[in-house]
Amino acid sequence: MSRAPAGRAVGIVLGHLADRRFGDPRRGHPVALFGRVATALEERTYADARGRGAVHLALLVGAVAGGGLVLERRVAERPLTHALVTAAATWTVLGGTSLGREARAVHGHLDAGDLPAARRRLTHLVGRDTSVLDEAEVSRAAVESVAENTSDAVVAPLVWGAVLGVPGLLGYRAANTLDAMVGHRGARYGRFGWASARLDDLLNLPGARLSGLLAAVLAPVVGGRPAAAVTAWARDARRHPSPNAGVVEAAFAGALGVRLGGRNHYAHGIEDRVLLGDGPAPGRDDIARAVRLADAVGAAAVAVAALVAWRARPGRVRV
């Protein structure tokens, strides 16, 4: 067996540990640099057309994934170097620690009775208009963000890292970042961002389902029942506008015993989302419970990803 799977598996674990210990870099984060490059390129590629958006996507994601592929091939037969490079890429793309930190900050402001501060901090997690939210809606938005981003910022990149290594990690994060930048609805990006949104949906299909499964299995960590998570997933997720967020949010709602969904205010208008789960609306303490569940899901996903990477045989998955 090639030594590449061992380096990949060890690197995934080390990268996760780095994220848990340090979180995102305060300055010079590679994802922020990618965002600046994408913004600069958009000045040349933008047009109100799907084709131009697809070109924008291909140039950026292709360059990042291609660079990761070159790097992976250079270090694949050197286990220690391969592990360290994979660890650095994994740390770069994971966002679980920062996600939990921001959610706990919102919880802390609510606990202190400072709703305006909680609304302001919530803008670090969601794209909706937080100025109109009461405490219950702030709590719901935070729990929904923790659920969705556990898949987007933790589990999904680990899935692609396990299967494709460094190019999978970096390419996924590039595509996910572009979706956040241009994949939303609105007059400017409705057509230009179409390709980015569709690719992000496709890449998140396996991660969202693994996230939902792990949330159900680990529901007892927060006093929940696996059966309730599975029921909410099977019944409610398909009515959500996102093929992936609905799965994770429904599974978290069932595991936490709360009800998610409802009316959301965005810059482009108001959206009425399907209700997920059977419990009461989440309160501020459910934010902390959601973070505990997210941490457990993330740790389990690392174990699954490392096992998949370790057992990969040369020729079955090529990079």
Residue-wise pLDDT tens digits, 15-40: 999 999 998 877 778 888 999 999 99
Confidence of residue 114 (pLDDT cuts 50, 70, 90): very high
3-state secondary structure of 280: coil
The CB-side HSE value for 231 (13 A sphere, CA atoms) comes to: 15
pLDDT at 4 over 70: no
pLDDT of amino acid 282: 95
Distances (CA, A) of 141 to 145, 255, 259: 6, 17, 11
pLDDT cut 70: percent of the chain above it: 94
Residues 6+ apart with CB under 8 A from 10: 79, 83, 86, 87, 306
What does the pLDDT average to over 151-165? 96
